Amino acid sequence: QSALTQPASVSGSPGQSISISCTGTSSDVGGYNYVSWFQHHPGKVPKLLIYEVRHRPSGISNRFSGSKSGNTASLTISGLQADDEADYYCFSYTSSRLGVFGGGTKLTVL
C-alpha cells in the first residue's frame, strides 16, 4: 500500500487560509469516507482534527475543515495562527481493511 500523496510543505501568513491536499486512489480516499486529518507538533502526540472527511471532534476549532472530491481529500485551515505551524497528515481506510497515511505536510506560518 503506497502512502497517500501530500505536498511536502505549505506556508501562509497569519490570518490567511491554506489548504493541504491528500491524493489517493479509488481503493482508499476515493472509495470510502474514512479520511482523517492529524496535526503533529514534533515531539508531541498526533491530534485528530477531522474524521470521516469533514467532521470535527469536540474541542477542535471551526478554523479547521475537511472535504473530498474524487480521490483527493483536502484540509483547509482558515485564520492561520502561529500555533498552527506543525506537520499535518491525512489517513485513510483502504479496501483491504488496512490503513494508510499521507507522507505529511509541513506547515510554516510566515
Partner 1 sequence: QVQLVQSRAEVKKPGASMKVSCKASGYTFTDYYIHWVRQAPGQGLEWMGWINPKSGGTNYAQKFQGRVTMTRDTSINTTYMELSRLTSDDTAVYFCARAFSAWNCDSWGQGSLVSVSS
Q: What is the binding site for partner 1 (CB under 8 A)?
A: 1, 3, 34, 36, 38, 40, 45-46, 48, 51-52, 57, 87, 89, 91, 93, 97-104
- Under 8 Å CB-to-CB from 78, ≥6 apart: which residues? 17, 63, 65
What is the nearest approach in angstroms of partner 1 to the Cβ of residue 15?
28
d(CA 33, CA 36): 9
Question: Do 20 and 72 form a contact (C-beta atoms < 8 A)?
Answer: no
What is the nearest approach in angstroms of partner 1 to the Cβ of residue 35?
9
Which residue lies nearer to partner 1 by CB, 76 or 87? Answer: 87
Which residue lies nearer to partner 1 by CB, 40 or 63? Answer: 40
d(CA 22, CA 5): 5
Which residue lies nearer to partner 1 by CB, 52 or 108? Answer: 52
